[in-house]
Chains A and B, each alone.
Chain A
Amino acid sequence: MPGPIRLNPPLTDEDVMKLRAGDQVLITGILYTGRDAAHKRLVDLIDSGEPLPMDLTGQIIYFVGPSPSRPGQPIGSAGPTTSYRMDAYSPRLIERGLKGMIGKGFRSREVVDSMVKHKAVYMAAVGGAAALISRKITSCEIVAYEDLGPEAIRKLEVTDFPAIVVNDCEGNDLYEQGIEEYRIA
């Protein structure tokens, strides 16, 4: 297996177009966090024509609701949550320039189509490898919606955050390909 690809957001169309389903990546830089409740609020803002709490252009949203941080730690455990709950909202954010999403599990047809159309990518972090992932996060600040607790939008600084490309911008899907490869009929 070739070595991992290094990504430093914000991502350009060219960065995204180089990625293929199955690529292992290591991300260093900024990730924004968000789950369903925060996504709903972002889309409500877009619907009412109001500005978003952060500029989404080229950014990556990590679907995570971390556990509380202990004193001296930037964050608690921070593994990915299941992505399909964001499917209703993701295409709206991709239209606004979002280039990457990190979560776990299947995405809908609409999200996959939107990623192809607008050049975006969906990556999986290992579900349940939350303690390991936390060690890659060097700082964390709340950007918006503190009232949502673990679901608030946070800005994370990460170093060598490990993820695997599931859906690339050409419509390939690692979940389908991987399962196909190892299925015994």
Chain B
Amino acid sequence: MGARIHNLNIKLWIREGRENDAFRFPRSEKPLTGFSRQITNQNNAMREIESGEITEAVRKMSIKAAYMLGHDVMEALEENLKKEISPTGREVLRQLVENARIAEEGLFPMCQDTGFAVIFVELGQDVHVAGGDLNQAIHEGVRQGYSEGFLRKSVCDPFTRKNTGDNTPAVIHIKIIPGDRIKLTLAGKGGGSENMSRVMMLKPSDGKTGIMDYVVQRVSESGPNPCPPTIIGVGIGGTFEKAALLAKEALLRPLGEPSPDPELAAMEEEILERINRLGIGPGGLGGKTTSMAVHVKMHPCHIASLPIAVNINCHAHRHREMIL
């Protein structure tokens, strides 16, 4: 029985983590009390996780993310290579598929920009991190991974531009959730596509049309700069900073998996179709494969506001997750 409850906990945990349903319950109309009760730690004991395990997990993910393109992205590249009508566009996609295969051999990361390490932590409230500071454990994992993996150190002082030398500090987003596990997600975020991302405070009257127009316009203006074919994360609602975080979280969803909300899923499809009519194409050199996916996440917002964030990710879509 103990083992069964444990397994169930993991499953619910993953579900909770991936879809972040708790934040969308006003739309789903399904309060999550049932979930919460089932994953309550019955004997109120804290599960201990050594900080060293967290360091090790981050170290491994940093390296793996830089060398192994996810199957979802690889499949999307190959699929688009079949469909692309521009000869130059096909040549670019062909190079990207070959590039991913070379990177897998482990000598060269898929891109020289191995990214800013952004770490999402979903920390079960019944976990006690033992043996050190959780944040320091993550920074140490980034430090070790970027050094041992021969990854580029791309973090610097904003004014002096002096490189910190070890790709730290990481950007860490911590969310406390029910359960006794830790889910760590690493996004190695490239600078070129991050620079093309924006947060915009639309007017409520702009509505769904205004939102979709803004995303398409942002991708259009970015042209070749963010290394198309891209993945577009869209955050709608919340506050200024919440919209940005939603957009980044939206990028974490596997490619090809639509939003569980049918209205948002339809919106994703419509935006993607409009983006791929822009003609930007692979490498921005013309073609129909400008983006491979659009992922939308939403949160209720202030009655006066309609925040929207567009976070663009290049095809070097470095995402890894581990559950401890």
Contact = CB atoms under 8 A, between A and B. Distances in A.
A binds B: yes
Interface stretch (B10-18, B42-50, B95-103): B95-103
B223 interface: yes
B212 interface: no
A67 B109 contact: yes
A51 B30 CA distance: 71
A181 B225 contact: no
Contacts of A175: 223-224, 284-285
A132 B91 CA distance: 13
Interface in A75-98: 76-79, 81-82, 84
Given A73-B107, A128-B314, 16 more contacts: A22-B88, A65-B152, A76-B109, A76-B152, A77-B109, A77-B110, A77-B114, A79-B111, A106-B224, A127-B283, A128-B96, A131-B111, A132-B102, A179-B281, A180-B286, A185-B277
A67 B151 contact: yes
A130 B99 contact: yes
A179 B280 contact: yes
Interface of B: 85-89, 91-92, 95-96, 98-99, 102-103, 107-114, 150-154, 161, 163, 165, 191-192, 195, 223-225, 227, 277-281, 283-288, 314-316
B110 A182 contact: no
A18 interface: no
A20 B149 CA distance: 40
B279 A179 contact: yes
A126 B99 CA distance: 10
Contacts of A155: none
B112 A184 contact: no
28 contacts: A65-B152, A65-B154, A67-B108, A67-B151, A70-B107, A73-B108, A76-B108, A77-B103, A77-B108, A84-B225, A104-B225, A105-B225, A106-B224, A128-B111, A128-B227, A129-B98, A130-B110, A130-B113, A131-B108, A149-B153, A150-B153, A178-B284, A179-B223, A180-B286, A181-B86, A182-B85, A182-B286, A185-B277
Given A67-B112, A127-B314, A37 B161 contact: yes
Main secondary structure of the interface of B (DSSP, over half): loop
Contact of A128 (B87, B191, B316): B316
Contacts of B107: 70, 73, 131
A164 B225 contact: no
Contacts of B281: 178-179, 182
Given A164-B88, A181-B286, A184-B277, A129 B150 contact: no
A100 interface: no
A106 B283 contact: no
Contacts of B223: 105-106, 175, 179
A127 B224 contact: yes
Interface in A167-185: 174-175, 177-185
B150 A67 contact: yes
Given A76-B112, A179-B280, A179-B281, A127 B152 contact: no
Contacts of A118: none
Contacts of B154: 65, 150
Contacts of A166: 285
A175 to B, nearest CB: 6
B195 A126 contact: no
Contacts, number: 170
Given A106-B223, A182-B286, A65 B112 contact: yes
Given A66-B112, A104-B283, A131-B109, A179 B152 contact: no
A183 B150 contact: no
Nearest to B315: A128
A82 B225 contact: yes
Given A68-B150, A164-B88, A130 B109 contact: yes
Given A104-B283, A126-B95, A132-B98, A178 B86 contact: yes
B285 A124 contact: yes
A134 interface: yes
Contact of A82 (B91, B153, B195): B195
B283 A182 contact: no
A181 B279 CA distance: 7
A166 B315 CA distance: 21
Contact of A70 (B86, B88, B150, B191): B150
A177 B286 contact: yes
B112 A126 contact: no
Contacts of A27: none
